[in-house]
Chain A
Amino acid sequence: MSRRGDWVYENNGGTCVAIAGADYCVIAADTRLSVGYSILTRDHSKICELADKCVLASSGFQGDIKALHKNLAARELLYQHQHNKRMSCPAMAQLLSNTLYYKRFFPYYAFNVLGGLDSEGKGCVFTYDAVGSYERTGYSAQGTGSTLIMPVLDNQLKSPSPLLLPARDAVTPLSESEAVDLVKDVFASATERDIYTGDKLEIVVINKAGTKREYIDLRKD
């Protein structure tokens, strides 16, 4: 017998990807919002610009995601007023981790990827699970298409582990335009095989010149 309030989550699908480069970061997400087998809208953005050098893309339950983005944007504004500067990406990364963990027993059903430039201007990507465990990586994919996309990114971008001693150089070899092309290709493939991914792709590129946004059409079926 299912009772009211028994299960409050739903998965709205979608995929988010981020790739960090030497001086840029690409964050991309599709714009399809689904419930079960239905598409509710083809035009829903999963990306939130939290600070000038920090962008968050989340897939999962869009109700929780909306609340999470609002929460973080408000905290960023408070930080701005207190410290007279915008939050850096690594600072926002830890804030997001704590925000997610504080709801450890009633989680935000959100799979997040945070991308941006760190204080030295190098690209950084932070990848999360739903309760806040995070790690800085060179690239990441989250969402329903992540298991389709990650192997391709591993193939193209995998670099020696940062845990190795003696340390080996780990720079993503791609240029900004190559990374954007890779993202487009990877989403095109994921759209073929994941029912929750498609319609449109929103790509945000951050580099020292600023933020650029681009929309690409994907298969609508």
Chain B
Amino acid sequence: EQLINLLDTFTRVQAQRPKRPTGRTATSSNARKKGEEIESGDAATPPSSPSIHRFRNAGDAMMKLDMSALETQFGAPAGEDGGLLFDVDGAAMPAMEFPNCPDFDRFQAKTKDMVKNKRGTTTLAFIFDKGVIVAADSRASMGGYISSQTVRKIIEINPYMLGTMAGGAADCQFWHRNLGTKCRLHELANKRRISVTGASKLLANILYSYRGMGLSIGTMIAGWDEKGPGLYYVDSEGARLKGNRFSVGSGSLYAYAVLDEGYRFKMSVEEAGELARRAIYHATFRDGASGGCVSVYHVGPDGWKKLSGDDVGELHYQYYPVEKTPVEQEMTDASTS
């Protein structure tokens, strides 16, 4: 009977409230020893949690099955205040509460429709001989409604590393801020800056642990470290790719076309910036979900610097100035004279 219970809870483990991590942090194991319920803010303990405890005890008594791959890595910060004041490990693994619903995926799909979160859209980055260029548009849409034309999609993680935002705006903002915190902690702990490889790995590992939960992040981490320029693509499916040229978002195909055509490894900073600006402009021209302003940044050995910020509406007339036909020219001359 214990085996049946074990297998029963085993199959439902994904949909249930996550187990407390086994000894992941000193504080959480202390709380377990005290036998306290770890608070994560509000919500009453769902009725399913006693079976989780039963599961743990049943597993001890029987053959040790290795379930570590199934453990979701959500740490609840322990302590009497429930992590309100002193969130020591808050940077490591934020405590995320789960709804106790029968069908997690359907619930997530429905809330996604209801809430229509802000999503962002064309970003690109490439390495050339003088560093990394990072560029993005600035439109955010909620369904078909443009919720903002002034979104900062290039996120300054620290003075020498940039991240881009594509996919869910809240997801990108939150996890980039979290990454910035962890990079700073790494610097303080190791007395040296974190490499781009390391930073992208930190982010990729977190996103992999949330894989399948419905996060939507397509980001590029660009920076300059001891090995020179670095560029990684990281997404919410858990992918982490090292590369020289990336474009992410709904307008990425249009940006790739212009970028690939104009790209050379040896370019001046101005040429590279202009290529990036043109690529994003063309993406905003054809993609309805991209628009606003094009921001172009350059990451060099001294850190990042913003090269340009232009409204795409005005850029259009710069690239394609209106040429009046002779009849129109006569009409304007007649009206002004």
What residues make up the interface of A, taking CB atoms closer than 8 Å to B?
3, 5-9, 67, 71, 75, 78, 82, 97-98, 100-107, 109, 127, 129-135, 137, 147, 160-165
Contact = CB atoms under 8 A, between A and B. Distances in A.
B118 interface: yes
Nearest to B120: A133
A221 B244 CA distance: 60
Given A82-B85, A164-B309, 13 more contacts: A6-B102, A97-B173, A103-B97, A106-B99, A107-B115, A129-B118, A130-B115, A131-B115, A131-B168, A133-B118, A133-B168, A135-B150, A163-B293
B170 A133 contact: yes
B174 A78 contact: no
B306 A165 contact: yes
A109 B111 CA distance: 9
Interface in B154-185: 168-174
A130 B110 CA distance: 14
A161 to B, nearest CB: 5
Given A129-B142, A133-B117, A161-B138, A101 B174 contact: yes
Nearest to A11: B114
B108 A164 contact: no
A163 B140 CA distance: 14
Interface residues of B, number: 51
B98 A134 contact: no
A170 to B, nearest CB: 10
A127 B96 CA distance: 23
Interface string B132-150: 0000001010100101111
Interface centre among A6, A147, A162, A164 (most CB of B within 10 A): A164
Contacts of B42: 67, 71
Contact of A133 (B96, B97, B169, B214): B169
A78 B306 CA distance: 39
B308 interface: yes
A78 B84 contact: yes
A208 to B, nearest CB: 27
B115 A104 contact: no
Nearest to B148: A135
Nearest to B100: A5
Contact of B170 (A8, A106, A132): A132
Contact of A105 (B96, B142, B148): B96
A105 B111 CA distance: 9
Given A97-B173, A102-B95, A132-B174, A162 B150 contact: yes
B85 A100 contact: no
A208 B307 CA distance: 37
A104 B96 contact: yes
A183 B151 CA distance: 24
A161 B117 contact: no
Nearest to A158: B149
Contacts of B293: 161, 163-164
Contacts of A132: 170, 173-174
Please list the 7 inter-chain residue pairs (A to B) with the smallest Cβ-Cβ separation, ordered nearest first.
A133-B169, A133-B170, A165-B309, A106-B99, A130-B115, A131-B170, A163-B293
19 contacts: A5-B101, A5-B102, A78-B84, A82-B85, A97-B173, A102-B97, A105-B96, A105-B213, A106-B99, A127-B148, A132-B174, A135-B150, A160-B311, A161-B309, A161-B311, A163-B293, A164-B310, A165-B306, A165-B309
Interface in B105-119: 107-108, 110-111, 114-115, 117-118
Nearest to B309: A165
A135 B94 CA distance: 22
Contacts of B309: 161, 163-165
